[in-house]
Amino acid sequence: MRVNIVAAGVIGVAAAIFVSGCSGQPLSTREKGTLGGAGIGAAVGAIIGAAVGSPGAGAAIGGALGGVTGFAAGNAMQNQEIANQQTQQQLQEQQQQIERQRRELQQLQQQSETE
């Protein structure tokens, strides 16, 4: 009976990962963190639960706690990625503006030399 509960938990996590992977869009960092945390939490919970006689309960509790922790970590990482992308975009825009201004200065210098 215990093996069936653990197997069902592992199959459930695997199915969730498979379904998410087949959605046609790549997983976000937040989703990867949540699924990874849930999977690791369920596995560790099942092992700890087996030691005390309740692998199914351990897997369920571990999966839930791992999912919440994975979500928090994935969310923080995704927010950092977004901030980095915005900073990169601002840098590129500033570099383009500097290059435009450099060209304008060169044109003005050429005009003043010819006059």
Please report the pLDDT score of residue 15 as a whole number.
59
Residue ranges in 1-115 assigned as alpha helix (H):
2-21, 29-52, 55-114
Instruction: Give the model confidence (pLDDT) of 15-40 as tens digits.
Output: 565 555 566 788 889 989 988 888 89
Please report the pLDDT score of residue 14 as a whole number.
59
**For the purposes of burial, counting CB atoms within 10 Å of the CB of 85, is it exposed (0-12), middle (13-18) or buried (19 or more)?**
exposed
Which pTM value belongs to this model?
0.64
User: Average pLDDT in the 111-115 region?
Assistant: 84
What are the C-alpha distances in Å from 46 to residues 56, 64, 101, 104?
Answer: 6, 12, 63, 68
User: Average pLDDT in the 50-68 region?
Assistant: 87
User: Average pLDDT in the 55-71 region?
Assistant: 88
pLDDT band with cut points at 50, 70 and 90 for residue 1: very low
